Chains A and B, each alone.
Chain A
């Protein structure tokens, strides 16, 4: 993520404050994704067991799903935190969280009484509260959406002003 000194929006303290807050929300969402992925990855057998209880895929595909989701969450969360590959990471995070929410919705609708496995062994194996989990996912999705939406809503009137001007290009070439 690059912040140009030519971007006059950052000269406005109100915009800057909003930008920092929305970016922090995104960083926090990334941190939660990393934590969730790490907790799943540390006890793979338990995570596989939780996945099989949710009946989201045929049993032969479950091990592949179990090994894929924790690294995907960790990589996506890291990208969201450090601001690299940001738009791709946002897209994946939103898709991932939407998919989890749909699964939780089905679990709630079918009256399942199994752990969601969202945070590995920390998810607890008592009575699950899928509604609360779905609300948490909705907040995380919002955190991923709000920062680009905010930046776009306050886009500079003339985007070309942010790009290097012909005189600057000439000066660089002469150097």
Chain B
């Protein structure tokens, strides 16, 4: 008799916990499904903005009509070999040195004001947050032909 009562008690509690668990699971699935639908719509809408910034080749910097944006401070720029750095500067119409100047956003804004959104821009600097941050900022401004080039790649001669 006592054993049966215990079994009933355990069964009732187990059923209650299972019901609670299933309710929670159902709600979690509902929220995640809703999120997934919104995420897909958002991804399709912001696809261009979210696409990773491509890497430029060192030879790209010798092309004319390429705007070089140096996303590093002077000490980082010193990492670029002496025979490369002057060439880069002489070949470019514009050169923005950002990173050493804070806030750098207004300066880049002013520099690129005359440029069309189709202009090809190469952001170069050390492979840290600054370079990707500058590239991301230019993307948000609407420039869509942006690539990054790291100092390490320039030194390695890629």
Name A residues whose Cβ lies closer than 8 Å to a Cβ of B.
41, 43-46, 48-49, 52-53, 59-60, 63-64, 66-68, 70-72, 75-76, 79, 85-89, 91-92, 114
A59 CB contacts on chain B under 8 angstroms: 52
B133 nearest CB across to chain A (Å): 6
Q: Is there an interface contact between A44 and B35, defined as CB atoms closer than 8 Å?
A: no
Q: Is there an interface contact between A88 and B35, defined as CB atoms closer than 8 Å?
A: no
Q: Report the bound CA distance from A140 to B89 in whole Å.
A: 51
Give B44's nearest chain A residue, CB to CB: A67
Q: Is there an interface contact between A45 and B140, defined as CB atoms closer than 8 Å?
A: yes
A85 CB contacts on chain B under 8 angstroms: 27, 30-31
A72 CB contacts on chain B under 8 angstroms: 31-32, 35, 39
Give B129's nearest chain A residue, CB to CB: A53
Q: Is there an interface contact between B31 and A49, defined as CB atoms closer than 8 Å?
A: no
B107 nearest CB across to chain A (Å): 16
**Residues of B contacting A: mostly:** helix
The 8 A-B pairs with the shortest beta carbon distances in the complex, nearest first, are A88-B27, A63-B50, A71-B38, A85-B27, A68-B39, A67-B42, A88-B28, A87-B24
**Do A45 and B42 contact each other (CB < 8 Å), given the known contacts A52-B132, A68-B35?**
no
Q: Is there an interface contact between B31 and A67, defined as CB atoms closer than 8 Å?
A: no
B61 nearest CB across to chain A (Å): 23
Q: Is there an interface contact between B35 and A45, defined as CB atoms closer than 8 Å?
A: no
Q: Report the bound CA distance from A83 to B133 in whole Å.
A: 39
Q: Report the bound CA distance from A63 to B45 in whole Å.
A: 12
Q: Is there an interface contact between A75 and B35, defined as CB atoms closer than 8 Å?
A: yes
The range of chain B's interface size is 20 to 34
A76 CB contacts on chain B under 8 angstroms: 31
A133 nearest CB across to chain B (Å): 18
B100 nearest CB across to chain A (Å): 16
Q: Is there a chain A Cβ closer than 8 Å to B1's Cβ?
A: no
Give B21's nearest chain A residue, CB to CB: A87
**Do A71 and B35 contact each other (CB < 8 Å), given the known contacts A66-B50, A91-B24?**
yes
Q: Is there an interface contact between A88 and B43, defined as CB atoms closer than 8 Å?
A: no
B28 CB contacts on chain A under 8 angstroms: 88, 91-92
Among candidates A43, A44, A46, A75, residue contacting B31 with C-beta atoms closer than 8 Å: A75
Q: Report the bound CA distance from A41 to B35 in whole Å.
A: 13
Chain B 62-87 residues near chain A, CB threshold 8 A = none
Give B23's nearest chain A residue, CB to CB: A87
Q: Is there an interface contact between B39 and A67, defined as CB atoms closer than 8 Å?
A: yes
Among candidates B36, B52, B133, B140, residue contacting A68 with C-beta atoms closer than 8 Å: B36
Bitwise interface map of B from 1 to 39 toward A, beta carbon under 8 Å scored 1, else 0: 000000000000000000010011111111110111011
B99 CB contacts on chain A under 8 angstroms: none
Give A71's nearest chain B residue, CB to CB: B38
Q: Is there an interface contact between A87 and B132, defined as CB atoms closer than 8 Å?
A: no
B39 CB contacts on chain A under 8 angstroms: 64, 67-68, 71-72
B26 CB contacts on chain A under 8 angstroms: 88
12 A-B pairs with CB atoms under 8 Å apart are A63-B50, A67-B42, A67-B46, A68-B39, A70-B42, A75-B38, A85-B27, A85-B31, A88-B26, A88-B28, A88-B29, A91-B27
